Every structure is written in structure tokens, then in C-alpha cells.
Homo-oligomer: A and B are copies of this chain.
Amino acid sequence: MSAPLRVGVAGLGTVGAGVARLLAENADLIAARAGRAIALVAVSARDRTRDRGVQLAGARWYEDATALAEAPGIDVVVELIGGSEGPARTLVERAIAAGRPVVSANKALLAVHGRALAEAAERAGVALAFEAAVAGGIPVIKALREGLAANRILSVAGILNGTCNYILTRMTEEGGDFAAVLADAQRLGYAEADPSFDIDGIDAAHKLSILAALAFGRPVAFEAVHVEGIRRVSALDIAFAGELGYRIKLLGIARAGEAGVSARVHPCLLPRAAPLARVDGVFNAVVIEGDTVGRVMLEGRGAGAGPTASAVVADLIDLARGRATPVWGGALAEAPSVPMTEHTGCYYLRLMVVDRPGVIADVTAVLRDHGVSLESMLQRGRAPGEAVPVVLVTHETREAAMTAALARIATLGAVLEAPSLLRIEPG
């Protein structure tokens, strides 16, 4: 058996401690599968005194994480600090420049600086691995880059944020309102004290831009991803969606077409029988559509110490075995991005209107004027003179037409609140 692979881990939060624990607990099995031992020789974190429930006595301690980039006796740097800038970015850049392979779980860093980092890694001839950055323990990056490598990938779609899926699942099951379920999720540890990164869709968009780049073999600019979060999904819309045979999910969807790549994260209505509609709670899932294999779905835990450590150590085993895959294996020029205004699809529109004759006629006239054709209309309950919900489902429509119609509808006197517009995905 060859010499051990010597690993330095920067960042000893939940995931860092999980990696240290996994390397210790499954050491024999990992060595057998890696063909050699994987040894944790150096660590870096701010607070040296904290009890992390794992033995770190054998590892050298560095106060400054970026020192791991060049410190002697380290074969691989594992970056688990997080954040797209600051020490995480500096560490990864310096390690690559020093010719040292890097394993990172940092989706923000890879989404924002992935192109530059991949180019630097290619120039330096070192590996940059990041299975843990997307969908936690699910080996989706390996599936995209290796398992399905013979396919032209047509689309990637997924539930990429466990916090959002947990909140939407509970809203669906309990009929609860967003704010109340979010507060309870925070109390239970399923949502952060500042939840905006998750619930505004940023985290899912980071992951989607990484997946899209791998799927289509070229960088996808993070700024080109259309992002909407779940703050405005209401209990009323979840109930109406259910009545129409749909579940509301936050999806990230990337598709390659002749005009370029479209990448978007937003809540949408999925037919109840669609595979992604049935993925509940904190679970993540990704559906990859290849030209030869058809659709493949992968589902599992997208976060947490165990699943994330599982992905980090899988990358280390690949490195120990000498199994290397270039980041894109294709062009390094950015894919042209298709703007959201070009999107076409069906839409769900829910209005609160004054219950009086002629209102529906006014609304449908605006839709007609914008070329939007209706598939169905639903109005539950009568309360003459008061506010009642009206739900309209459109046939396939261009986003630009829908947006223009919506702006006009919002100005109608009988429309009382901001309309709720959700896209419908075929599933």
C-alpha cells in the first residue's frame, strides 16, 4: 500500500468536525477503498478550545487557514470555511497556485468564482473537487461528470435547498402560513437565524449554476441565474395548487437550447405525480435528462454533517486513487444565457378581487389583449362586495406577455392585493 494521503482541513464547524470523525471512524474501510490511508495531518479553525466531539490531537493546528495552502507535509487542502470571498477564496487560490489539489464544499465560492478557479486549476494541473457543494451526500456531480458522461445533457432540475423544501412541505401538510412555519423551522434548527440566503433562493442558485456548468460543459455566470425565493408563497396558493392537482416546490432548472442556457430558481407548481413533487422534507433531489439515458433521478439528504462529510471524503478517496476529472472537460467560454423574458410555459395566477359582476370579464380581457389564453378558471365562495380569490391557469405563454398582462391587471380597481403569479412546470 502506498504512502498515506495527507489532508489539511480548514474550517471545523459541523461539516469539518464530521469529516474528521468520518476519517477516524471508517479509517480501515476508507483505506481499503482508497488504496492507501487518508490521514488528517493539519487543521485550522478560530477557536482551539471548543469541544467538537472528535479527537484532533494528531493534527497540527494553524491559526491562519490560508497557511494550509503552503504549509509543509500536506497533499490535499479541504476548504470548509464557506463564503465566496475572504479566507476561503484566498486559501483555495493559494493552494491551487502552490500546485496543491483542493476539495471544497463551498457552493458560493464555486458559483461566483468557479470559472477563474477552474482555469487556475487547469493551468496548475491540479484537481479541484467539490462533490459536497451540491446536494450534500448525493453523488450528483460524479453522476453528471462520469456516470452520464456519454450523454449530451438536455436539462438538470432539482430540489436543491432543504430548508425551503422543509418549509414548503410543512405548509402543504399543515396548511400553515409561511411566517409561522419559518419561525418553527428556525426553532427546530432547520432554518438559520438569518434565513435569507436559503429562503430567497440564493443557495439553490449557487448550486444550480454549478450543476449547469457541469451539465453543459462550460461556465454559467451566476448573475445570469434568475432567482426568486419562497417568501411570497402563501397557504392559499398551496391549497389552490393542491385542488388543481399540483404541489408547490422551489426548483432550480437549467436547460440547454439553441439560443443558450436558461437557468432559473423559483417556486413552481409541479403535477402531483412528478418525481420531484414527491420529494419531501429536508431531502434534496436532482433529475438529469440525457439524450441517451433519458431521465435519471438522484435523491437523498442535501445537508448535515454526515451527508456532507460523505461527499468530501469520497472526493479524497478519488484523489488518493488518482481518479481525476477536469472541472469541465469542455470549452471554458461562458455559455450564452437566455433571459427570463424569453421563457415560455403555463402560469398560475391568483388574484384577490371584489366580488361583483364584470370583474372576471375585465381580467380576462386584459389577458386576451396580451395574447394569453386561459386553460381554466376557479372561483371558490361568494361574498358580494367583499374580497374573494380567483385562480386562473393559462396555456403556454411567453413570460414577457404574462408580465405585461400582470402589470395591467394590478392596476384594475377591483384587484385588491398584489397578484400571485407562479410558473407551472410539466414535471
CB pair B217–A149 under 8 Å, yes or no, is: no
Complex alpha-carbon distance, A139 and B290, angstroms: 13
Q: Please name the residue on chain B nearest to A306 by beta carbon.
A: B292
- Decide yes or no: A301 and B297 within 8 Å by CB, A139-B146, A217-B29, A317-B149 being known contacts: no
Residue A299 lies at the interface, judged by CB distance under 8 Å to chain B: yes
Question: Chain A 213-243 against B: per-residue CB contact (8 Å), 1 yes, 0 no?
Answer: 0000100000000000000000000000000
On whether the beta carbons of A137 and B296 are closer than 8 Å, the reply is yes
- Judged by a CB distance under 8 angstroms, whether A307 is at the interface is yes
Instruction: Say whether A325 faces chain B, with CB atoms less than 8 Å apart.
Output: yes
State the CA gap A306–B294 with chains docked (Å).
Answer: 8
Cα–Cα distance between A138 and B152 once the two chains are bound (Å)? 15
Residues of B contacting A307 in the complex (Cβ-Cβ under 8 angstroms)? 292-294
B-contacting 9-mer, from A30-38, A50-58, A105-113, A389-397: A30-38
Give which listed residue, B292, B322, B325, contacts A309 with CB less than 8 A: B292
Asked, given contacts A32-B330, A297-B300, whether A310 binds B142 with beta carbons under 8 Å apart, the answer is no
* List of B residues within 8 angstroms of A291 by Cβ: 26
- Taking the complex as formed, is A337 at the interface, i.e. its CB lies under 8 A from any CB of chain B? no
Given A297-B300, A299-B299, A323-B324, do A30 and B150 touch, yes or no (CB 8 Å)? yes
Oligomeric state, in copies: 2
Q: How many whole Å from A187's CB to the nearest CB in chain B?
A: 23
Q: Chain B: which residue is nearest A323 at the CB level? A: B323
CB atoms of B217 and A314 under 8 A apart: no
Q: Assign chain A's interface to a size class.
A: 35 or more
Q: Does A143 contact B (CB under 8 A)?
A: yes
Taking a contact as CB atoms under 8 Å apart, the answer to whether B150 and A22 are in contact is: yes
Asked if A321 lies at the interface with its beta carbon under 8 angstroms from chain B, I say: yes
Interface string of A313-329 (1 = CB under 8 A from B): 11011100111111001
Contact: B293 with A301, CB < 8 Å? yes
Task: Specify which chain B residues have a CB less than 8 angstroms from the CB of A324 in the assembled complex.
Answer: 321, 323
Chain B proximity of A96: nearest CB distance (Å): 20
Q: Check A278 for interface membership: any CB of B closer than 8 A.
A: yes
Q: How far is the CB of A278 from chain B (nearest CB, A)?
A: 6
A297 interface neighbour in B145, B298, B311, Cβ under 8 Å: B298
A195 at the interface (CB under 8 A from B): no
Q: What 0/1 pattern do residues 4 to 26 of A give for CB contact below 8 A with B?
A: 00000000000000000010001
Question: Are B292 and A26 within 8 A (Cβ)?
Answer: yes
Q: What's the Cα separation between A298 and B140 when bound, in Å? A: 10
Q: Which chain B positions have C-beta within 8 A of A427? A: none
Q: How far is the CB of A140 from chain B (nearest CB, A)?
A: 9
Which residues of chain B are near A32, meaning CB under 8 Å? Answer: 217, 329-330
Are B139 and A26 in contact, with the CB atoms below 8 A? no
Interface contacts beyond A139-B142, A146-B314: sample of 4 additional A-B pairs, CB < 8 Å, sorted by A: A32-B329, A35-B329, A150-B314, A292-B310
Contact surface of A with B, Cβ cutoff 8 Å: 22, 26, 29-30, 32-35, 131, 137-139, 142-143, 145-152, 217, 275, 278, 290-301, 306-307, 309-311, 313-314, 316-318, 321-326, 329-330
Nearest first, the 6 closest Cβ-Cβ pairs linking A and B are A139-B147, A150-B313, A137-B293, A296-B300, A293-B310, A323-B323
Of the A-B pairs whose beta carbons lie under 8 Å apart in the complex, a sample of 12, sorted by A's number, is A22-B150, A22-B292, A30-B150, A32-B330, A33-B217, A142-B143, A142-B146, A146-B146, A150-B316, A293-B300, A293-B306, A298-B299
